Amino acid sequence: MRDRLILLPGWGLGISPLEPLAAALRGLDEHLRVEVEPLPVLGSEQLDDWLDELDANLPDNAWLGGWSLGGMLASELAARRGDRCCGLITLASNPSFVSREDWPTAMPNATFEAFLSGFAEVPHGTFKRFALLCSQGAADPRAMTQLLLGAAPKVQPEPLLAGLELLGQLDVRPALQAFNGPQLHLFAGTDGLVPVAAAEALLALLPDVEVGLIEQACHAFLLEAPHELAAAIQAFLHELDDD
């Protein structure tokens, strides 16, 4: 089903930030079936538990995509499904959210650990800080933060903490290298959570995939530039159809 795209959201903010992009994509192509699916609500930080849940609930033979953590999970699920996945699209999604010795283009480990312990101790305040970081670099960061927080689902801290721990563990580079289907990875130029240098590092890792940059956009570029993102995705899909 090359005309079906499943989009997964990022950590904690629910499906609302993806809806403007989904609507823009549907407006560009009436034949493209775009569905935004929530992330599992689990108390486990084990990747296989998350993938089992997603694999059981998402349709086969569709494009998989996602924003930030959602993009990382889509990458892992695409690798697991192989030929049962038409292709992969990630949005502001670093292959490793936390920096590693061989992947420095990410959040410093000490910063992430402080964020993790902060959320465990003061969930509400730390979650608000996360929304502020998502909005950093936006034309109107305050309004963007309010928009993100206002639409965020009410979830208990325990599954959010499990998702945060998963985010810190994930390194999807092997999955990206294993998946042989078409890939498009879009990054934001003023992202406060994913360094823009990650785009160049990803292209160096996978020179055969498509990597793009929306220059004047924050981590929450789904809300800031949905039509620009939709145009980039649609151009990529049409290019494949023409091949």
Q: Is 227 noted as a catalytic residue in this protein?
A: no
What does the alpha-carbon distance between residue 7 and residue 160 come to, in Å, rounded to a whole number?
19
Instruction: Going residue by residue through the chain, which has 243 residues, state the pLDDT in tens, using 9 for 90 and above.
Output: 478 999 999 999 999 999 999 999 999 998 999 999 999 999 999 999 999 999 999 999 999 999 999 999 999 999 999 999 999 999 999 999 999 999 999 999 999 999 999 999 999 999 999 999 999 999 999 999 999 999 999 988 999 999 999 999 999 999 999 999 999 999 999 999 999 999 999 999 999 999 999 999 999 999 999 999 999 999 999 888 765
- Classify 34 as helix, strand or coil: strand
Q: Is 191 noted as a catalytic residue in this protein?
A: yes
| Catalytic residue of the set 68, 75, 93, 135 | 68
By CB neighbour count within 10 A (0-12 exposed, 13-18 middle, 19+ buried), where does 5 fall?
buried
Q: Is 99 noted as a catalytic residue in this protein?
A: no
| Catalytic residue of the set 29, 48, 219, 238 | 219
Instruction: Just give the CATH number of 4-242.
Output: 3.40.50.1820
